[in-house]
């Protein structure tokens, strides 16, 4: 049995690179969600006027790694207190967001957010909402970090996040 949740926490290359390394995660698909424009492209989302965030659809085996554990990792690998961005990636397309598929996931997300708040000085601004539609990203975004580890953004931004995750 598998379950899915859609998460956004900055650039989807970053969050995807870490989440795919969790035990029990079956796949991490980059995409766009949370907005109104049908079939958005990367260029459109980057302009920040589609309403969509860069997200990843995480398929996982809940018997091996629970949604709660995935959300604990999610809150630990990005700054959920930064509105509309992560680090130098600024704009609503980089917002922190959890998109749930049922009421159980909604409750788990709300509980995980409340628990995570204990570890942050500033209020967590992560949005929690129902997933309406997920649009897969263009193929070249899949496994971007693993295929391009020497690309400057990967070395400067993603590699340190992956290294911190491995230390945990």
The CATH number that applies at residue 36 is 3.30.1060.10
Count the domains in the chain: 1
Q: Which of 11, 14, 46, 154 is catalytic?
A: 11
Tell me what pLDDT residue 39 has.
95
Which tens digits make up the pLDDT trace of 44-63? 999 988 999 999 999 999 99
Average pLDDT over residues 8-16: 95
CB atoms within 10 A of CB 57: 22
Residue 14 pLDDT greater than 90, yes or no: yes
Residue 167 pLDDT greater than 80, yes or no: no
**Whose CA is closest to 144, among 84, 54, 48?**
54
**Whose CA is closest to 162, among 29, 7, 58, 15?**
15
User: Rounded CA gap, 145 and 164, in Å?
Assistant: 15
Q: Structural domain of residue 114, as residue ranges?
A: 3-167
**Whose CA is closest to 94, among 18, 22, 39, 13?**
13
pTM of the entire predicted model: 0.94
Residue 152 pLDDT greater than 90, yes or no: yes
Give residue 104's pLDDT band: very low, low, confident or very high (50, 70, 90). Answer: very high
Catalytic, 11? Answer: yes
User: Rounded CA gap, 92 and 46, in Å?
Assistant: 9
Which tens digits make up the pLDDT trace of 65-84? 999 999 999 999 999 999 99
Residue 32: enclosing H or E segment and its boundaries?
A: strand 25-33
């Amino acid at each position: 049995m598998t379950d899915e949740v859609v998460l956004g926490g900055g650039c989807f290359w970053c969050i995807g690179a870490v989440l795919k390394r969790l035990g029990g995660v079956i796949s991490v698909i980059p995409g766009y969600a949370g907005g109104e424009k049908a079939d958005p492209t990367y260029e459109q989302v980057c302009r920040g006027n589609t309403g969509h965030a860069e997200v990843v659809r995480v398929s996982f085996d809940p018997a091996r790694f629970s949604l709660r554990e995935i959300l604990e990792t999610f809150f630990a690998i990005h700054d959920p207190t930064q509105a509309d961005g992560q680090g130098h990636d600024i704009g609503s397309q980089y917002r922190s967001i959890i998109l749930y598929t049922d009421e159980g996931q909604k409750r788990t997300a709300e509980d995980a957010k409340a628990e995570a708040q204990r570890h942050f000085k500033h209020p967590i601004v992560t949005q929690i909402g129902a997933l309406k539609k997920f649009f897969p990203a263009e193929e070249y975004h899949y496994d971007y970090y693993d295929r391009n580890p020497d690309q400057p953004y990967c070395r400067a931004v993603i590699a340190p996040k992956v290294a911190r995750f491995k230390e945990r």
